[in-house]
Structure 1
């Protein structure tokens, strides 16, 4: 089954797992009352269930919209053109003034747990199923990878979160507690390590291209380990990311027809022109209000707009600048206007909110920069050959048309650390990495953001502390659980 033709799998994940038994063969369960226990029988059933997990990644509650508001707009990379839109809730993220009822905060949380619920529905049933072992391995590996990816997003956005690894009844869900970050990361590592052992290095059937692979799992595991500062473990995971390479041309990464390529470890894939739609609203959300493109005038909202601070971060001759964003646009065939917008997802929609650009979640350039960082944190070295921190950093720079960095420029661990941090920003712009890179540096990230708020918006002495490196738990969750001891609000939002 093609991943682009994902079928919705609603009944099996929204109904609680209940069983009924009766001796009368007439008392059959109606198809509309399927549960996870009754639905999953064949490989095709499990395939449909796994496809539903991928489908959750496309949602506007996750990668389709909310995630880049929480992960890019929150950072110094992008902002909101219309600050009053949606009663200003998007701009709240940019100014660190969001309320606990902010809909983007709520969407990111709810959308993530929908993905986890769908993954759990598959995992609960697959071990006891009678499907072939090869199918069982693949489906279990995919579900574990996708659950690990989603918990990695959740723990970095919200901190302590409920760790749900089984399908639950409503009463069980009401007894959730917020598990410590250490427990969540332990589950992420376990999920990804197991997924890596189950998933293939690559797929031979073209219909399976784009599904999670062993490289996807190892690459994400390395990122989770770097986030926890487990440097040697991260490097061990990186050695298992095999068969990937940088594309010669950075621009080729973002062409919708080229999303399956040797650099991409995993992407959320979209495709326009299908019914029902499998496209996205990236184009409409990110281009300027009046935007003339390919002979057609489009309307956009110009949200996730590149900041002046980000534009200035690109050095002279950096090829990535003109590929990632632009600072001018046409609002008619002849009228050129000043204004920043993201170009990485520039794919004209076939219909309203039906663009076909995909969202790259992991790629090999990120892995190289993680390797450079981990090696440097273990101990600075001035060596510049293959397999060194300088070697990994310079592979990324040279593809961008830049000169390699030398030990004379970066003579110690601190200067090299700053160079990797800078390289990650311009290499991975608009790919949901910048906020997390800022947040994991804690006080350094806060200092950078304070200066950004003063420079970009002329805010004098903005009030920003490390408490705001986590989003609040949605107020609806706090209200439902009503248990300050085991389900408290994050510090700074009470």
Structure 2
């Protein structure tokens, strides 16, 4: 069951059918006009269908590019090279001035529903399929996990969103409503609970590396519970995330050849040098405008650029700094230049926009910090032994070459909470966590307002809780034309 997206897409002859701006439904029919109902017959058919769901995450509309504009550039972690008016749509995201027609908003929204529709196509058919039970369980578990993962992003970015859990006709899609946030989270929880019960703990076939496992589903479920402030439920489920460990070398996490390792629960995988391309735009998007690397001159956009505040967030001797970013690079063979850029995804592309670095979505370090947070929120404890909040926090710090936090430094719940959020920022930098952390952090709005003033000397816009959600793309509002069931965000 090799995770070969290129072959999967070629085998499926995927054709996008647009039923609204956001509801692109996978059409699995070849020339003979098969439908999704008639295509899925064999184990291989379903394998191709599941591979197509993973492929949705590779799209430049989502984790191939656009997602980190909404999840990193929006935060205080990164900005873009051109921060002024000429920066256009990227600058809007950076400066909280986005319009409802901003293409990054539309891309992530629409790209997410493409992936959801592919998951639904598999889930509609798999229960009744005449395939081995073991394969049926795996395919269903993978599709449920991937659907939940995408909805988790959507509900945190946009709030109320249409909850689509089966393949819809064009007419049906046009009558979708924006479901309440609680309904969306309820479905996410249900999908992940089911996925955790269906998926294997490990895959015995080396070619299956990178597929979702029971640990992947439980890890994401724990993160969902944390977001909902269900602290006890988070503690219980995160204890089920076993078999993972922190790599001794933080930098090794970002070696493209080491994308599947003992620390990563789930990663969006890319591979350069294929035709059609299965690579990403990270290198070209993030390196400086003139960038001399390994004896070759490259040109980049220097977007998703670490802010000065991000650079200063690292403590002295933190090993994660040099693995994550740099402030100096070569402009040519003999000239250095100052300027911040992300190093985590510094994989020379096979061609422009064809990088091979994978994107770590969920790591064991994240799980440890979530466990520390959940325990602390249930009641501060000064205990430091195994399984305590201090233990989980300090495991991450010690790997980074830093001293363990002590009860003298963190004597109460508030100081421990602040320490966890600070640790999450530097440990998970540029991995699409910071914006979501700021949303659920009580000091998040104040941090963002200070960021606008410190980095850009801007006192406007004045940020309110409403600005913690992105607008629904205007094309969706126009198509549905239903202010009651499909209103715009405030």
**Fold conserved (TM > 0.5)?**
yes
**What CA distance in whole angstroms lies between the structure 1 residues aligned with 2:287 and 2:16?**
36
Tell me, yes or no, if structure 1 residue 354 matches structure 2 residue 354.
yes
> Per-residue displacement from partner, 1:385-441 (whole Å, max 9, x unpaired)?
110000000000000000000001000000000000000000000000000000112
Residue 401 of structure 1: aligned partner? 401
TM superposition outliers: structure 1 runs of 4+ over 3 Å: 9-16, 29-32, 83-87
Equivalence map 1:252-401=2 (5 Å):
252-401=252-401
Return the alpha-carbon distance in structure 2 between the equivalents of residues 129 and 274 of structure 1: 32
Distance (Å, rounded) in 1 between the aligned partners of 2:54 and 2:104: 20
What SS does the aligned partner of 1:265 have? strand
8 Å CA contact 1:13–1:121 kept in 2: the answer is no
Are 1:473 and 2:472 an aligned pair?
A: yes
**Structure 1 partner of 2:485:** 486
Structure 1 CA distance for aligned equivalents of residues 46 and 86 of structure 2? 39
CA distance in 1, matches of 2:372, 2:240: 16
Aligned residues: 478
Whole-angstrom CA distance in 2 between matches of 1:372 and 1:285: 34
Q: How far 1:10 sits from its partner (Å)?
A: 5.3
State the Cα distance separating 1:73 from its structure 2 match: 0.2
The 5 A counterparts of 1:136-215 are 136-215=136-215
The Cα of 1:31 is off from its aligned counterpart by 3.3
Aligned-CA RMSD value: 1.5
What secondary structure sits across from 1:3 in the alignment?
A: coil
* 1:5 shift after superposition: 3.9
Give 1:242 deviation, angstroms: 1.0
Cα distance change of structure 1 residues 476 and 462 upon mapping to structure 2, 3 Å threshold: closer
Q: 1:182 to 1:367 in 2, by over 3 A?
A: same
The structure-2 alpha-carbon separation of the partners of 1:32 and 1:467, relative to structure 1 and needing over 3 Å to count, comes to farther
Q: Secondary structure at the match of 1:53?
A: helix
Q: Secondary structure at the match of 1:152?
A: helix
Partner of 2:444: 445
* Residue 350 of structure 1, CA deviation: 1.0
C-alpha spacing 1:324/1:241, structure 2 compared with 1 (3 Å): same
Residue 24 of structure 2 corresponds to: none
Query: What SS does structure 1 have at the residue aligned with 2:418?
Result: helix
* TM-score for the superposition, normalised by structure 2: 0.95
**1:234-255 per-position Cα deviation (integer Å, ceiling 9, x unaligned):** 0111111010000001000000
Structure 2 residue aligned with 1:19:
none
CA contact under 8 A between 1:76 and 1:310: conserved in structure 2? yes
Q: Measure how far apart 1:4 and its partner are.
A: 3.8
Unpaired stretches in structure 2, ≥5 consecutive residues:
20-28
**Equivalent residue number for residue 413 of structure 1:** 413
Cα distance in 1 for residues equivalent to 2:388 and 2:333: 49
